[in-house]
Amino acid sequence: MNAGASGRHSLGRLLQLLCLVLILSVGLLLRLGTAWGTQVDAPVRNDARDYVAYAWNVQTYGVYSLDASTFMDRSPAAPRPDAIRPPGYPLLLQALMPKQLSPAFIARVCYVQGWIAEATLLCSVLLAMELVGAWPGLLLGALVVLSPHQSVYVGYLLTETFYGFALMLALAAAVLALKSARGWPRWSYACACGMLFGLSCLIRPTLNQWVPVLVLLMLVWRPLRQYRREIALLAFGFVLAMSPWWIRNEITLHRLSDAEKMIDTLHDGSYPGFMYEGRRETFGYPNRFDPNTALATASWPGIYHDLASKFAKAPLAMLHWYLIGKVVYFFNWSADQGWGDIFVYPLLRSPWLWNPMFLGARAVIRAIYAPLIIGGVLGMLFAFLPRTAALFAPRQTQGIRFLALLQLFAIGVHVVGAPFSRYSVPFRPLTFLLAVFLFVWLYRYFLQVLREREAARVVTAND
């Protein structure tokens, strides 16, 4: 009997390994296929132009500057340094940049991003297998591998792919810290987690306040105090990773950061439905039609006054927008400022426009996308129910609640700021994982209720 059970266990492990290899193979095909088969119309535009400008100016002048005239207009003057955008992604571009910009440079970046997206997929699957079990973890892998948003952004010079990788690594380090025995292994993972969160903030500043909020929660919420050493080391790692950037800004600009982008984000997100005065023709870019934009974004008092006047003018509409509308837009399938559907910038060609396999993957996820997002939000809430501790092992419960808390924070950040749907793309594997967790939670709860009823029936029969 033991030999039979061992054989079935070995067969199960082999099937799981084969499924993992299949998921990774399909993922590599979709991601590298996107990298090789995508041609963006004018790829160095908008945000992408900013990142390329930073990379070019660092390489050519040794100056971190947003000034795009140095390569767009071939201006001979050295650019002025700034800190409007963090340096993580521009430094990745700079590492891949030749002396002259060319289509080969863009192809090289897309190819590297294809492999980064593949590493994110692997990390997501292993994280899910650790937290919710092997087969549910593989289900998460199937959802992530087929999600078109996780592949499409490989073809753009945007931060989504690189940021998603750093985010998943940070979450994996957090779960490893909670899983490890107390002592140096646990503390090392906690410090590494903080450094990886720092790296993510150097790519995109979404989680800049995440570590300070964790520290504050530890001080006011008693259950978190048992993790005070881990949170302290996480904060230390975060400061360690961010310090070079802060020191550079203080020395060069005499301030730790530049508030311009944050003010713009608050202003961009202050229009209900992303429209100026409800006019459809302003959708996606309402600030361009608002005559008060320059004054509102000039300073912190300006943006505070602008927000106060909008709430005073239409309080119910603004409350609905901030409490409900922004969450819906954050998880929207289509890019609000994009070309249409899953695309941000216009494309000249892409396998997601014609290839049957790519279109099939898109159709599958599109059909279940709304239930997945709803499940991910509900899973975030279910993670904190007392019953969760009875349905999952202690370390799984701790890890799931950490992930749920981070997603709640990320949603809150975008509710305050601008909830453009592409900003949720790096968080989609996390949202899908919480949706799978909800499915497992309900399944285990159902089995537990059946067992309790059966036990009660047996007791009643014996009496």
* Spatial contact of 63 and 75, defined as CB atoms under 8 Å apart: no
* Spatial contact of 200 and 170, defined as CB atoms under 8 Å apart: yes
Residues contacting residue 222 through CB under 8 Å, at least 6 positions apart:
none
Q: How many CB atoms lie within 10 A of CB 157?
A: 25
Question: pLDDT tens digit string along 411-445?
Answer: 999 999 989 999 999 999 999 999 999 999 999 99
349 strand-pairing partners: 39
Question: pLDDT tens digit string along 332-375?
Answer: 998 776 777 899 999 999 999 999 999 999 999 999 999 999 99
| C-alpha–C-alpha distance, residues 231 and 237, integer Å | 10
* Spatial contact of 426 and 167, defined as CB atoms under 8 Å apart: yes
| C-alpha–C-alpha distance, residues 118 and 32, integer Å | 9
Question: DSSP string covering 354-422, please?
Answer: H-HHHHHHHHHHHHHHHHHHHHHHHHHHHTTSHHHHHHS-HHHHHHHHHHHHHHHHHHHHHHHS---GG
pLDDT at res. 279: 87
Question: pLDDT tens digit string along 143-159?
Answer: 999 999 999 999 999 99
Report pTM.
0.93
